[in-house]
Structure 1
Amino acid sequence: MVSDLVVSIALLAGSVVGLWLGARLFVGSAVRLARRLGLSEVAIGLTVVAVGTSLPEVAVSVGAALTGTGDIAVGNVVGSNVFNLALILGFVALFGAIVVPRSLARRDGLVLFGASALAALVLVDLHLGRLEAAALVLALVAYLFALARAGEAPPTGGEDGEPFRARDPVLLISGLVLVLVSGDTLVGAAVDIARAAGVSEWAIGATVVAAGTSTPEFAVSVLALQRGRVGVSVGNLLGSNVFNALGVLGIAGLVHPLAVDPAALADLGWLLAVTGFVTVSLWSGHRLSRGEGGVLVGSELIRWVLDFLR
């Protein structure tokens, strides 16, 4: 029993590394290929980068939906979004107050809260049907269309201006395969750990699995911070949350209708509270202070404890 748990934990840790490496390979090679094909920066941002940074969430949530583990599929999205804002954004803010452009704070902040509220609304009955999932995907398409009309794209901290390499097609396929295999392994290991440890699949999905699939966002945000591109770091997290709430959740629901544990309601409320806190903080002065970052990080630690105690 103990040996099986150790193996599951090792598989989970290995799959997280695989998700991170696979996403990095996919995004880097896909961006270079897109530039080689003459696609604009907007087109690249709206497609390659957007899909690439959310690829782990897509792989895990769709894989969980296919196996009928709705708590893992939905918990991954809800937990990832809280993790992105509370821990990653809060962690970035601890290094210094985050000042963002007015447009990012106002427009994208409102879109972020709207996407989170819509996701919570369709899940309030603890069920996500295909019709509701289609509405989420259509909302994402409308958002992408609006960005394209404005000539903007979700920002990324990835490699800028790297030349195309002959091995990029191989790296693209390898990255995609690595993400898919790692996502499948992560779901299986998470379910095994939940059963062996006597905790709910929702708790594992909304914490450990969510943190694992958020590794690309964490890497991009820290890299952007190191380069002094704070706006990119924040934009990456806000954009990723919109894609997760509308795209990942919508795609998973289209693949298979999802039912979740009543514990989901508490985390959905937590998501709205954290999202509202970030939105108001950015609106109030287009900045996030170190103190507010500390509050966000502390709230995420509390959420993990409460999820495991339920």
Structure 2
Amino acid sequence: MSLLGPVASTLVGLIALWLGARWLVTAASRLARAAGIPPLIVGLTVVAFGTSAPEIVVGVEAALEGRGAIAVGNVVGSNAFNLGAILGVLAIISPFRVADTLVRRDAVAMAAATGVGIAVLVNLHVSRTEGLFLLACLVAYLAWLARSARDSDIDGVEPERSGTNRHPGVDALVLVVGLVLVGLGGRLLVQGAVELARAGGVSEWLIGVTVVAGGTSLPEAAASVVAARRAEVGIAAGNVVGSNVFNLLGVLGISAVAAPLAIDASVRSGLWWLAGLTAVSAVLLATGRRLTRLEGVALALSVAGYWVLAAG
């Protein structure tokens, strides 16, 4: 079979994801800041959830098509990509400190979400009831986040930069266009990746945990790099942590509600790998409240190493 179609679909999907996510994140962040929401909360909610839109599209489509391995591989691979290839690379480029709140509250929430997700997935099936349970956990996390934001003295609201004022209606329109592009890009990416997997004779789990996960994580990468370049470490780190919580509770929950997920035993090694990577990341964040270049290298290599082993 010709690979031209699948390759074109994958590339167009990636471009649409990149552009759509940038517009979505920029517009959503501006609207949130205009409403007086602190930067760390913007990263943990608006930006993190906005950049997780591709995972939702991919997860639901894969679930409806009976491709549980792709749906779950997308979540597991995206979370690992966030921690290793995004947080790790950011630390390699420029070591940074994180807010105490990110360590005390949000890294703990990420670890807890990982534990809940693994407990649900370990029997190799996710029912609609379990999906609803995951969504209920997400709602509880959001309520906790909103309450702590009111009572906490975490990062204050940053002033708008000069020359960036524009009508909220314009930002709302840009946000909608970004969402449309993200949805279209996610669909094209899945179609192209699945066809490439079939042509290459590899498993759907492997294509889900690598190509699809890496592709759907591009918005998180773009958002974090842009935030880091602007010295907005609260948003960059909060985006990664918030995305991981949302992927395990929200994306996996929504996918299972759309259609129960059935997966094979090959998923278990990926689950333990993600559990270890999450635990290590939480410990590294707690150690000195910063990530060094050496620690960034360790995180990045852990992801690359698993991909090599899985492909073998």
- Please state how far the C-alpha of 1:218 moved relative to its aligned partner: 0.6
Partner of 2:246: 243
User: Relative to structure 1, is the Cα distance of residues 104 and 166 closer, same or farther in structure 2, using a 3 angstrom cutoff?
Assistant: closer
Match of 2:306 among 286, 303, 306: 303
CA distance in 2, matches of 1:205, 1:184: 14
User: Relative to structure 1, is the Cα distance of residues 33 and 84 closer, same or farther in structure 2, using a 3 angstrom cutoff?
Assistant: closer
- Please state how far the C-alpha of 1:202 moved relative to its aligned partner: 0.6
Q: Unaligned 5+ residue runs, structure 2?
A: none
Q: CA RMSD in A?
A: 2.6
CA distance in 1, matches of 2:147, 2:170: 34
The 5 A counterparts of 1:3-14 are 4-14=2-12
CA distance in 1, matches of 2:202, 2:45: 37
Give, as a single letter, the amino acid of the residue that structure 1 aligns with 2:229. Answer: Q
User: Relative to structure 1, is the Cα distance of residues 230 and 190 closer, same or farther in structure 2, using a 3 angstrom cutoff?
Assistant: same
SS at match of 1:24: helix
**Can you list the C-alpha shifts for 1:89-112, whole angstroms capped at 9, x where unaligned?**
110111233221222112211111
**2:24 is aligned with 1:26:** yes
- Please state how far the C-alpha of 1:190 moved relative to its aligned partner: 1.3
CA distance in 1, matches of 2:33, 2:239: 20
Query: In the comparison of the two structures, how many residue pairs are matched?
Result: 304
Match of 1:54 among 40, 52, 55: 52
Give, as a single letter, the amino acid of the residue that structure 2 aligns with 1:270. Answer: W
- Please state how far the C-alpha of 1:231 moved relative to its aligned partner: 3.0
CA distance in 2, matches of 1:237, 1:77: 13
Q: Unaligned 5+ residue runs, structure 1?
A: none
- Please state how far the C-alpha of 1:164 moved relative to its aligned partner: 2.1
- Please state how far the C-alpha of 1:230 moved relative to its aligned partner: 2.3
**Can you list the C-alpha shifts for 1:251-296, whole angstroms capped at 9, x where unaligned?**
1111110011222111111101110001111223212221111111
Partner of 1:63: 61
- Please state how far the C-alpha of 1:9 moved relative to its aligned partner: 1.9
Contact 2:22/2:223 (<8 A) preserved: no
The 5 A counterparts of 1:160-175 are 162-164=165-167, 166-175=169-178
User: Relative to structure 1, is the Cα distance of residues 183 and 96 closer, same or farther in structure 2, using a 3 angstrom cutoff?
Assistant: closer
Give, as a single letter, the amino acid of the residue that structure 2 aligns with 1:41. Answer: I
Partner of 1:277: 280
Contact 1:42/1:148 (<8 A) preserved: no
Partner of 2:105: 107
**2:37 is aligned with 1:41:** yes
- Please state how far the C-alpha of 1:22 moved relative to its aligned partner: 1.5
Match of 1:82 among 80, 83, 92: 80
CA distance in 1, matches of 2:288, 2:103: 9
Compare 288-297 and 159-168 and name the one that shifted more: 159-168
Partner of 2:149: 151
Contact 2:18/2:218 (<8 A) preserved: yes
Partner of 1:195: 198
User: Relative to structure 1, is the Cα distance of residues 28 and 164 closer, same or farther in structure 2, using a 3 angstrom cutoff?
Assistant: farther
Contact 2:48/2:238 (<8 A) preserved: no
Match of 1:253 among 247, 252, 256: 256
